[in-house]
Amino acid sequence: MTVEQEILELREFLHKQNHNYYVLNAPIISDMEFDQKMHHLQDLEAAHPEFYDPNSPTQRVGSDLSMQFEQVEHQRPMLSLGNTYNRGEISDFYNRIVREVGHAVDITCELKFDGVSISLIYEDGKLVMASTRGNGVVGDNVTRNARTIHTIPLQLTGDYPAHLEMRGEVIMPRAGFDALNRQREEIGESTFANPRNAASGSLKLQNSSQAALRPLECILYYVLTDDVNFATHAESLERAKAWGFNISPNYRLCHSLDDIYEFVDYWAEKRDSLPYDIDGIVFKVNDLHIQNELGLTAKSPRWAISYKFKAEQAHSRLLSITYQVGRTGTITPVANMEPAQLAGTVVRRASLHNADIIAALDIHEGDTVVVEKGGEIIPKIVGVDLDKRPEGAQPIAFPTTCPVCGTPLVRVEGEAAHYCPNSLGCLPQKIGRLAHFISRRAMNIDSIGDETCELLVKKEFVNTFSDLYALTIDRILTLPGFAQKSAENLVAGIQKSLEVPYARVLYAIGIRFVGETMAKALANAFPSIDLLKAATYEQLIAVNDIGDAIAKSVVSYFAEPDNVAEIERLRHIGLQMEQKVVEKAGSSLEGFTFVISGTFARHSRDELKALIESHGGKMLSGVTSKTNYLVAGDNMGPAKLEKAQKLGTKIISEDDIEKMIQ
Tell me which stretch binds ligand IVH (CB under 6 A): 300-308, 324-332, 369-377, 478-486.
Answer: 300-308
Count of residues in contact with ligand IVH, rule CB under 6 A: 16
Alpha carbon of residue 163 to chain centroid: 35
Q: State the minimum distance, in angstroms, from the CB of residue 167 to ligand IVH.
A: 6
Catalytic residue among 37, 112, 626, 640, which?
112
Q: State the minimum distance, in angstroms, from the CB of residue 110 to ligand IVH.
A: 4
Measure Cα distances from 588 to 94, 411, 501 in Å: 59, 48, 24
Yes or no: say if 418 and 410 are a contact pair by the CB < 8 Å rule. Answer: yes
327 sits near ligand IVH (criterion: CB under 6 A): no
Q: Nearest CA to 407 among 423, 393, 394, 385?
A: 423
Q: Nearest CA to 188 among 24, 414, 12, 452?
A: 414
Yes or no: say if 263 and 254 are a contact pair by the CB < 8 Å rule. Answer: yes
Of 78 and 213, which has the nearer Cβ to ligand IVH? 78
Interacting residue with ligand IVH among 105, 218, 240, 282 (CB under 6 A): 282
Of 170 and 179, which has the nearer Cβ to ligand IVH? 170
Q: Nearest CA to 300 among 133, 105, 139?
A: 133
Of 149 and 304, which has the nearer Cβ to ligand IVH? 304
**Kind of pairing between the strands at 163-171 and 217-224:** antiparallel
Q: Nearest CA to 279 among 112, 141, 431, 136?
A: 112
Q: State the minimum distance, in angstroms, from the CB of residue 296 to ligand IVH.
A: 8
Of 192 and 222, which has the nearer Cβ to ligand IVH? 222
- Nearest residue relative to ligand IVH (C-beta): 117
**One symbol per residue from 205 to 244: x for binding ligand IVH (CB under 6 A), - otherwise; what is it?**
----------------xx----------------------
Q: State the minimum distance, in angstroms, from the CB of residue 344 to ligand IVH.
A: 25
Alpha carbon of residue 68 to chain centroid: 25
Of 304 and 647, which has the nearer Cβ to ligand IVH? 304
Interacting residue with ligand IVH among 25, 36, 71, 80 (CB under 6 A): 80
221-242 burial, b at 16+ Cβ within 10 Å, e below that, comes to: bbbebeeeeeebbbebbebbbe
Q: State the minimum distance, in angstroms, from the CB of residue 261 to ligand IVH.
A: 18
Interacting residue with ligand IVH among 45, 140, 169, 287 (CB under 6 A): 169
Interacting residue with ligand IVH among 55, 117, 151, 181 (CB under 6 A): 117
110 sits near ligand IVH (criterion: CB under 6 A): yes
Q: State the minimum distance, in angstroms, from the CB of residue 231 to ligand IVH.
A: 18
Rounded Cα distance between 130 and 257, Å, is: 36
Interacting residue with ligand IVH among 55, 306, 330, 447 (CB under 6 A): 306
Of 212 and 247, which has the nearer Cβ to ligand IVH? 247
**Kind of pairing between the strands at 410-411 and 418-419:** antiparallel
Interacting residue with ligand IVH among 27, 77, 301, 326 (CB under 6 A): 301
Which residues from 401-460 bind ligand IVH, rule CB under 6 A?
none
Of 118 and 529, which has the nearer Cβ to ligand IVH? 118
Q: What's the per-residue H, E or C state across 457-471? A: HHCCCCCCHHHHCCC
283 sits near ligand IVH (criterion: CB under 6 A): no
Q: Nearest CA to 343 among 318, 304, 310, 321?
A: 310
Interacting residue with ligand IVH among 112, 147, 214, 640 (CB under 6 A): 112
Q: State the minimum distance, in angstroms, from the CB of residue 115 to ligand IVH.
A: 7
Contacts for 546-550 with beta carbons within 8 Å, 24 or more apart? 546/518, 546/521, 546/522, 547/187, 547/188, 547/189, 549/187, 549/188, 549/189, 549/513, 550/187, 550/188, 550/513, 550/514, 550/518
Q: Given its phi and psi angles, is residue 616 left (phi above 0), alpha (psi -120 to 50 degrees) or beta?
A: left
Interacting residue with ligand IVH among 107, 170, 264, 304 (CB under 6 A): 304
Within 10 Å of residue 250's Cβ, how many Cβ atoms? 15
* CB-based contacts of 31, cutoff 8 Å, min separation 6: 628, 629, 650
6 by DSSP, 3-state: which?
helix
Which residues from 118-157 bind ligand IVH, rule CB under 6 A?
133
Within 10 Å of residue 615's Cβ, how many Cβ atoms? 18
Q: Is 273 exposed, middle or buried (CB count within 10 Å of its CB: 0-12, 13-18, 19+)? A: exposed
Q: State the minimum distance, in angstroms, from the CB of residue 305 to ligand IVH.
A: 9
Tell me which stretch binds ligand IVH (CB under 6 A): 234-242, 299-307, 491-499, 561-569.
Answer: 299-307
Rounded to whole angstroms, the maximal C-alpha distance in the chain is 90
Q: State the minimum distance, in angstroms, from the CB of residue 322 to ligand IVH.
A: 39
Of 80 and 322, which has the nearer Cβ to ligand IVH? 80
Q: Is 241 a catalytic residue?
A: no
Measure Cα distances from 56 to 18, 27, 51, 315 in Å: 12, 19, 10, 55
Yes or no: say if 523 and 165 are a contact pair by the CB < 8 Å rule. Answer: no
Q: State the minimum distance, in angstroms, from the CB of residue 645 to ligand IVH.
A: 25
Tell me which stretch binds ligand IVH (CB under 6 A): 109-117, 268-276, 469-477, 642-650.
Answer: 109-117
Of 83 and 524, which has the nearer Cβ to ligand IVH? 83
Measure Cα distances from 423 to 201, 330, 433, 463, 513 in Å: 35, 10, 9, 11, 15
Of 289 and 458, which has the nearer Cβ to ligand IVH? 289
Interacting residue with ligand IVH among 8, 44, 67, 79 (CB under 6 A): 79
Q: Summarize as ranges the residues that interact with ligand IVH (CB under 6 A).
A: 79-81, 110, 112-113, 117, 133, 167, 169, 221-222, 282, 301, 304, 306
Active-site residue set: 112
